[in-house]
Amino acid sequence: MKKQPKYMEVYTDIKKKIAKGTYPIGEKLPPGDILAKNYHTSKLTVKKGIDMLVSEGLLRTRSGYGTEVLRTPIDNSKVFGPNEGLFDLVGEEHVTSKIHTFSIELPKNEVATILGINPNEYVYNIIRSRFIDGDPYSIEQTFMPLSVIPGLEPKHLERSVYGYITDELGLEIKSSHIWIKGDVASTFDAEVLSIDPGSFMIEVDKVVSLSSGLPFEYSLSRHLYQDFIFEAVFVEK
């Protein structure tokens, strides 16, 4: 498994400590040289992790004053970001999946256009439902080009597809473009998620690209509205 970059370790650990109250709101973090010693890394690496927290609005850095905690992170125990999988957030032991469709087919023109491929290039068409601790969480339909993600099998869908892409194929997931909209539950949604047909749902449409800029995924993920939180932090430069 690919080792997490050191700056991400710094970012994740400090964020957890803010959430737990180890670093309460209004308190300053230890100086950079102390943090570098604690994390066995360089001050530059520590700064990179802290800059990510600043960009999220959790910290504020002022020259001559230090780095101050501004707010605690939202509890995202059931919410994951554009480039993260569910395993990353809640842990593998809490997640189960049910595969409804796994096929290889020619894409519709709309799907081909979004993925930047020719309509005569085959794609995986995957529909699966996800559960957290046995409770319904989402239904996902995903399209991936075979030419970009070779060798995908149903066994990978029961675990982490992103894990297969990064750990086994050695590819780097870089960016996402997402659209969020409201919708009502279809008969299939209602049956799988144990809700009434016509219930309000949140749909997240997403195009994910590799570090090369090549799109490798177009997905439509439908969520129970009560489990969905969207967080955005805007920081003036």
What is the pLDDT at residue 231?
A: 64
Strand residue runs (E) in the chain:
59-62, 66-69, 95-105, 123-132, 135-145, 173-184, 200-210, 215-224
pLDDT score, position 174: 85
CATH of domain 86-227: 3.40.1410.10
Question: Which pLDDT value is given to residue 80?
Answer: 47
Q: What is the pLDDT of residue 3?
A: 62
Q: Nearest 5°: CA angle at 136, between 143 and 191?
A: 80
Q: How far apart are CA 181 and CA 204, in angstroms?
A: 7
**Cα(160)–Cα(9) distance, rounded to whole angstroms?**
21
pLDDT recorded at residue 29: 95
Instruction: Please count the residues of the chain.
Output: 237
Instruction: Write the DSSP symbol of residue 89.
Output: H
Domain boundaries, the chain: 6-69, 86-227
Q: Which residues pair with 180 in a beta bridge?
A: 204
Domains 6-69 and 86-227 share a fold: no
Residues of the chain with pLDDT under 50: 1, 76-83, 237
Pick the CATH number of 6-69 from 1.10.10.10, 3.40.50.1000, 3.30.360.10, 1.10.150.110: 1.10.10.10
